Amino acid sequence: MTLYIGREASKLWKRVCAEVTAEITLLSENWKYLLAGVIFQYIHGLAARGVHYLHRPGPLLQDVGFLLLPELGLDKAYISETLFTLIFISFFLWTFHPFILKSKRIYTVLVWCRVLAFLVASQILRIFTFYSTQLPGPNYHCREGSKLATLPRPDSALEVLLINFPRGIVYGCGDLIFSSHMIFTLVFVRTYQKYGTRRFIKQFAWLLAVIQSFLIVASRKHYTVDVIVAWYTVNLVVFFIDKKLPEMPDRTSGASLLLPLTSKDKDSRNKEENHKLLNGNSGDPTDRRQRTQVNGKNLEDGNTGHPDTAMNGV
């Protein structure tokens, strides 16, 4: 038993080391995209903080969701935040599963490049939208009579730049159309829908997204229009941007060329290449042209090109 545990631990360590090597290579090529995406998260928070200075509380707007869904109340407002945190943490941990699990389809660096691209594009549209029209916030701290509904003029630019994190984010007002929580939720669900492997989890993730939508409205954190606009806007953004980005390498067919090979893998590849040479095929594993031997000569299909193995995920 001890020997088995030691052997499995050794395999796991080698797998982690190999994955770290591959991810570092990708990180060295894509760090600018990741850094830009992370910086824009701060810019988005800064914009949301800025619109709070413009917010003016007023009577709640007529809303179909408010009429149909019972109000959870201030004491149960944490429910929607708890579900969102669960979705966020689950997705974050899933993106790092290639470091541990043997079966994998993604590279952590490349999938986060795509996720941040989706988030940034959606958040740019969101900033333009909530600055265009400021609606009276339906949340409890944004209503008339609340001290947090409006912010006094800042004493300095530093006060604005610090955005009073995290309190300034949690108790923001005015950044309504469209829901930021739904941006993150839908981007995560769409990404797992494409690269995840468990059908049940995919279906469950979409169910959680629907439940999250209802909870946001029932908690009075957003109007129904904020959630509806998020559903079609984010899905369209992800659809079009995903078509523009180069596809990630498919890791399901075997060991990727990005990962360092073990001696056993090298011997297996050498045997495969020798077999191809004996049958008249090139030893280059990237050469996929079809060849047919006629009277000892190789005829190539000139219509078939060399597929490039994508190293860049953005």
Active site residues: 181, 222, 226
15, 51, 146, 201 from 165: Cα distances, Å: 38, 15, 20, 33
CB 110 within 8 A of CB 26: yes
CB 263 within 8 A of CB 14: no
> Which residues are 294's β-sheet partners?
297
CB 231 within 8 A of CB 186: yes
Question: Cα-Cα-Cα-Cα dihedral of 35, 102, 285, 195, to 10°?
Answer: -50
For the chain, the C-alpha Rg in angstroms (whole number) is 26
- State phi, psi for 43 to the nearest 5 degrees: -60, -40
Q: Is the dihedral of CA 82, 55, 142, 207 positive or negative?
A: negative
CA 176 to chain centre: 22
| Tokens encoding 152 | 């006094």
Q: Tokens 């209503």 belong to which residue? A: 143
CB 216 within 8 A of CB 227: yes
Reduced to 3 states (helix: H, G, I; strand: E, B; else coil), residue 299 is strand
Q: Which helix (H) or strand (E) holds 208?
A: helix 199-218
